[in-house]
Amino acid sequence: MFLKKKDFPEEDELVLCTVTNTFHHGVFVNVDEYGKGGMIHISEVSPGRIRNIRDFVKEGKKIVCKVLRVNLEKGHIDLSLRRVNERQKKEKINEIKQEQKAEKIVEFAAKKLNKDPRKLYEELSSKIFEKYELLHFCFEDIVKGNVSLEKLGIGKEISDLLTEFVKERMKPAEVFVGGELRLKSYSPKGVEIIKEALGKAKDEGKTSLLYEGAGKYKVRAKAGEYKDAEEILEKATGKVLDFIEKEGGEGEFVKAE
């Protein structure tokens, strides 16, 4: 990736790291976005007793970590792997993938303009990063029609070509979360009650349902960000469970990992 953030990460920031070395009491990593080294103490690799640290991390593996402490004087970055939940991990990986996609678009534009890709990236980022934290956030706004590269101070030739490439290659981001609804009804009208209960999930929009058999239904919600998708999912499944229980049935929702 071209992206290299300046200075040091903030405490509690999520960062993508590459494992460089493992030893008995911890793990050394490279904090990819900052080009700096960091360390994960063995107690921050996984909860509980660890017999073999290589069961959790190996050299070359990409992992998402949380920044615990930064010592600016010594240049030390202390990280945690175990304090990153599955949603945070997915969000960070998705963010990196979107940024890589944005950088690829810059490479295509550079080739068309006979420019060095890194120099074009630096030229663009010097303007875009005044308003946006990452390149793909800007490109997503271009797709939505919320921003003009020219208004950000980028020349017309580059702006026109890049805008064309972005609209061709970048779709609005979509993420999915889901799980399984398990429903039972003891009423003679059980089929109708369950059908009506499931309709409550569909009322939320941006949800899909798939019958799996034996009273089990796969439910999935989509949105532009994981947080929004999870809110949709929680609201939709909550309505289903409230209705089925009100009608004397039973239900539970098991979230997918």
pLDDT for the residue numbered 102? 95
Write out the two tokens for 180: 């399984």
Enumerate residues 6+ apart whose C-beta is below 8 A from 107.
117
Enumerate residues 6+ apart whose C-beta is below 8 A from 138.
102, 128, 131, 132, 147, 149, 152
**Partner residues linked to 177 by β-bridges:** 221
Enumerate residues 6+ apart whose C-beta is below 8 A from 235.
204
Give strand ranges (E) for 72-190: 76-80, 175-184
Let me know if residue 67 belongs to a domain. Answer: yes
pLDDT for the residue numbered 203? 60
Question: 3-class DSSP state for residue 212?
Answer: strand
- CA 112 distance to own-chain centroid: 31
Let me know if residue 7 belongs to a domain. Answer: no
130 in Cβ contact with 62 (< 8 Å) = no
Query: Which is nearest to 220 in space by CA: 177, 175, 173?
Result: 177
- Number of structural domains in the chain: 3
Query: Which is nearest to 252 in space by CA: 200, 186, 201, 183?
Result: 183
Write the Ramachandran bin of 246: left for phi over 0, alpha for psi from -120 to 50, otherwise beta: alpha
The answer to whether residues 161 and 108 belong to one domain is: yes
Give strand ranges (E) for the chain: 14-23, 26-31, 36-41, 62-71, 76-80, 175-184, 207-213, 216-223, 250-255
169, 184, 203: which is the final residue of a domain?
169
Query: Which is nearest to 93 in space by CA: 11, 197, 17, 6?
Result: 17
Model-level pTM?
A: 0.70
Q: What domain range includes position 123?
A: 87-169
Let me know if residue 197 belongs to a domain. Answer: yes
Write out the two tokens for 16: 């993508």
Q: List, as own/partner pairs, every contact residues 150-155 make where C-beta atoms lie below 8 angstroms and the sequence separation is at least 24, other chains included.
A: 152/127, 152/128, 153/127, 154/123, 154/124, 154/127, 154/128
Q: Say which CATH number the domain at 196 has.
A: 3.30.70.1130
The answer to whether residues 183 and 147 belong to one domain is: no
Token look-up 């303007």 returns 127
The answer to whether residues 50 and 92 belong to one domain is: no
The answer to whether residues 197 and 246 belong to one domain is: yes
54, 84, 114: which is the final residue of a domain?
84
Question: 3-class DSSP state for residue 160?
Answer: helix
In order along its 257 residues, the chain shows pLDDT tens digits of: 888 888 899 999 999 999 999 998 999 999 999 999 999 999 999 988 888 899 999 999 999 999 999 999 889 999 999 999 988 998 899 899 999 999 999 999 999 999 999 999 999 999 999 999 999 999 999 998 999 999 999 999 999 999 999 999 987 767 888 999 999 999 999 999 999 999 988 765 689 999 999 899 999 998 877 888 889 999 999 999 999 999 999 999 998 87
pLDDT for the residue numbered 1? 81
Q: Say which CATH number the domain at 55 has.
A: 2.40.50.140
pLDDT for the residue numbered 205? 66
Q: Say which CATH number the domain at 135 has.
A: 1.10.150.190
